[in-house]
Amino acid sequence: MLESLQYIYAPQIINGLSIGVAVILMALGLTIIFGLLDVINMSHGEFYAAGAFLGVSLMGLGISFWWTLIIVPLLLVPFGYLMQELLIKKVFHHKDRHILTLLLTFGVATILEDLYKVIWGANTAKPATPITGASEVLGVMFPNYRLFLMMFGALLIFAVWLLIYKTSIGSIVRAATLDRNMSASLGIPVNRVYALTFAFGVALAALSGVLLAPIYSVFPTMGKDFILMAFAVVIVGGLGSIKGAVIAGLLLTQLQSLSSLFISPVWSDPIVFAVMVLVLMFKPSGLYAGMKNG
Amino acid sequence: MDKYQYQAVRIMEYVMLVAAIILIIFGKITGDTFFLRLATEALIFGGLALSVDLLLGIVGLLSLGQALYFGFGAYLSALILRDWVPSFWLCILLVAISSAILGWVTSYIALRSKGVYFALISFGLAQVFAKSIYNTRALGASDGMVGVPIVQIPLPFLTLNLGDAITFFVVTFILMSCIYFALKYFLYTPLGRIWGGVRSNESRLPYLGYNTQTPKRIAFILAAIVAGVSGALYPMLRGFVSPELMYFSVSGNAVITVVLGGVGTLIGSLFGSSLLMILKSIIGTLTFHHHIVIGLLFIVVVIFAPKGIVGILCTKLKERATR
């Protein structure tokens, strides 16, 4: 009993955790963009792919992995800023905003995915793991990079939470969400806050792309495969909630990795989405909806 | 629907009819089947777009998973035709009935939510179905099913052979016209008026004594039937089905088609689908990376003409009338 716990469940749980942290990072960007701008960003997965591709290219130029962790998200900030300013702002006050922004970002996703094929080709790349070796946790060996990913990701998630709920920047962002006109009359440059928030979400997606590139491979459609999981996490957690994204992210990835012990892993995706549908049936706005309560 | 939109829709109906006749004559003279088969496929996906427009434009529900019913219809049709009996009428009838049942069952899940959440739940439902089909060996798993036979349609005086491109095109055109006019008829019934009410202000309707859940459910089931029947034609045309038919790209494309044609106009769906198919094949011959151009087109349409082609036509008519 104890042995099966140690050798069968523990590795699955820890593997699930490392995937979970990565998914939560993706979901954070999505949920912040939705919570603040009320925009469902369909191109989020493509920004994640952009991060991975840029990371691989920069490392090919001889820049170390640790620098790409900083450079790549910064490279995508202006892109996110311009996307909000030039595209999304145009349909922001339309009454069908949800549909139109969804289509806009879907269009951007279509372009980007094809662009990656033009620039980087359709082949799969896999960067070298920046941290090699393995360590023993609970008597089982784990790759060091996965352990690093978990710690770093957890720190990052905590930092984002601190930024939004405990700093003055965060309160400006939340104020702009809550009441746009009131914030504007108090002197908050609402449009710039919106654009910077969008850019911040994009940068988060790019960062998770860089972080995950050494574990998964890098290919043009990689965003599509991963975004569905991130969407499920955001939906179950409640659109706009950081706490919800963390809880749902851990829950769904554990469900995914533990269920693969009992049934064929190909069924884990349908199970995750079935849980998502079930949650929506009984709590139609997810576990914690909105940016208000953390 | 104001006077100009009424005119715009009427013009586009004629344009569709004339285009179809020209295409048939062209096919008859040159014996070329490529464009006819392309047009047939455009109409089939136009049927899917019609069902999206019924939900989005008429009732105000954005469905991101309409490919679920389309794929369901396609798989069921392939199964009936290949493994049981290659009968057109029986196949369409059975698909329509089963799609209605599927729509009725799933409506109890999807219609619990509204707005963005409806969009997401419909997306999730389609995802569960698509992945399950993808994993089911009996349904061909990731390969799908091939070898759907060519169907004959027995009529009182003659038998139509769907292997012939012109015949298939005419049959599809007539079927889609029937669906189009039936849906248009519904708009002018009391039920259609309630749909319009649900779209403009759902929370007010109960105060006026109307139940909104039943009309929404009827629309949802109708949309499922339309999508399912359109899907049923797909394996007859292409001879195979694959799980890609249920994927998000198909649902997403249908929504884009509707927006391109004009939300809430119904004819816009069929028109938009044909236009998209033409664009895709033209750009596809010029460059291998046609998605970049298509993506740019969507962005331009959404920003500059969010009412689609019907909207553009409307403003043109209005300008001409007031000049």
Cα four-point dihedral sign B74, B79, B80, B85: positive
Tokens of B124: 């999730």
Does some domain include residue A254?
Answer: no
Would you tell me which residues 71-90 of chain A have a C-beta closer than 8 angstroms to some C-beta of chain B? 87, 90
Does some domain include residue A22?
Answer: yes
Structural domain span for residue A163: 16-222
Beta bridge partners of B240: B146
Does some domain include residue A282?
Answer: no
| C-alpha span between B202 and B216 (Å, rounded) | 10
The number of folded domains in chain A is 1
| C-alpha span between A195 and A213 (Å, rounded) | 27
A187 contacts: CB under 8 Å, gap ≥ 6: none
Does some domain include residue A107?
Answer: yes
* Closest Cα in chain A, distance from residue B284 (Å): 13
ipTM of the complex: 0.76
- The per-residue pLDDT for range B157-177, each reduced to its tens digit, is 777 777 788 888 999 999 999
Residue A293 pLDDT: 55
Does some domain include residue A174?
Answer: yes
Asked if the Cβ–Cβ distance from A266 to B127 is below 8 Å, we say: no
Inter-residue contact A10 to A140 (CB < 8 Å): yes
Q: Which CATH class is domain B3-322?
A: mainly alpha
B138 contacts: CB under 8 Å, gap ≥ 6: none
Asked if the Cβ–Cβ distance from A117 to B289 is below 8 Å, we say: yes
| C-alpha span between B238 and A232 (Å, rounded) | 33
Query: Which has the minimum average pLDDT: A119-123, B51-55, B213-217, B292-296?
Result: A119-123
| C-alpha span between A76 and A82 (Å, rounded) | 10
Amino acid (1-letter code) at residue A121: G
- The per-residue pLDDT for range B26-76, each reduced to its tens digit, is 888 887 888 888 899 999 999 999 999 999 989 988 888 899 999 999 999
Is 80 exceeded by the pLDDT of residue B222? Answer: yes
- State whether residue B255 sits within 8 Å of chain A by CB: yes
Name every chain A residue with its beta carbon within 8 A of the beta carbon of B298.
Answer: 103-104, 106-107, 110
Cα four-point dihedral sign B179, B185, B189, B192: positive
- The per-residue pLDDT for range A230-263, each reduced to its tens digit, is 888 888 888 878 888 899 999 888 888 888 778 7
